[in-house]
Amino acid sequence: MAGYDTAGTVQSVGPGALSEFGENPNFWIRYLSPSPAADVVNGSASGAVNECIGVWNYSTSHTLGIISAPTQSHLSSSSAQGVADAQQYMASLAYIYTNVSSLQYPTNNTLWCWLDQEASTSLSSGYWTGWATHIYNYAAQTYSALYCDPDAAPPNCTVIDNYNGTTSICNAVWSSEPEYTSSCSGGLASPPAWAAESCSSVPTRLWQYDEQGVCGYSADVDLNVGAPGYNYASYCFYLSAKP
């Protein structure tokens, strides 16, 4: 089952995406601080509520995944910087969880908290250790995970593959590659056969198979699908009622 990530707000992007693709996604993935994009909080408690109303109105499972995109140069820096960015991320998470009364942790108690590493960015062991350990220690339900291009030259897999069995474990990869222009016509309803890039030790659980800029979609959304046997919506926040 496929869903969207967007740098816009669901309230503003959802209607156009529904018009373009003819159906609502299974899930939405949105940014929390730190991030250069519009985040779920959107500056206020009412902004967080309104964004979750958008998730309710424009998704089939009423689920919200989360990602943080710190300044990319941070990712090659220190453990202390990793902790600082993770603290800001979890503070933003706590804010929406507190202010949207119907927002619930997944029933499997596993919320994947994505860190955005772009293809040209290096990831240091120190940063990852600080960031992931803070996510691990924040709550029983928060699990560190990495959005990346597994086959890109800058380190990503070589870093996260080293931490299995530790508090710095990476629990899942969301692969940004490959993107097939031939799959664009399939849209939301017919994602391509699973072909996501992967790391050697950390499983790829989500694949961004179509990017808005590559496919020329009018709606500001990228398209994603969970790995075979994995319903990504089960690893997201869910809304028990319309906010």
- Identify the CATH number of the domain in which residue 36 sits: 3.20.20.80
SS3 65: strand
171, with CB counted inside 10 A (0-12, 13-18, 19+), is buried
- pLDDT score of 226 more than 80: yes
Half-sphere exposure (CA, 13 Å, Cβ side) for 143?
A: 19
Band of pLDDT at residue 38, cut at 50, 70 and 90: low
Instruction: Give me the number of domains the chain comprises.
Output: 1
SS3 167: coil
- pLDDT score of 181 more than 70: no
- pLDDT score of 165 more than 90: no
Q: Residue 5 corresponds to which tokens in the numbers above? A: 């990530």
- pLDDT score of 215 more than 90: no
Full domain range(s) for residue 47: 2-239
Is the full-model pTM beyond 0.85? yes
One-letter amino acid of 29: I
- Report d(CA 106, CA 45) in Å as an integer: 21
Count of Cβ atoms closer than 10 Å to residue 216 Cβ? 9
- Report d(CA 212, CA 210) in Å as an integer: 7
Q: Which of 119, 101, 96 is nearest to 33 (CA)?
A: 96
Place of tokens 């089939």: 60
- Report d(CA 90, CA 84) in Å as an integer: 10
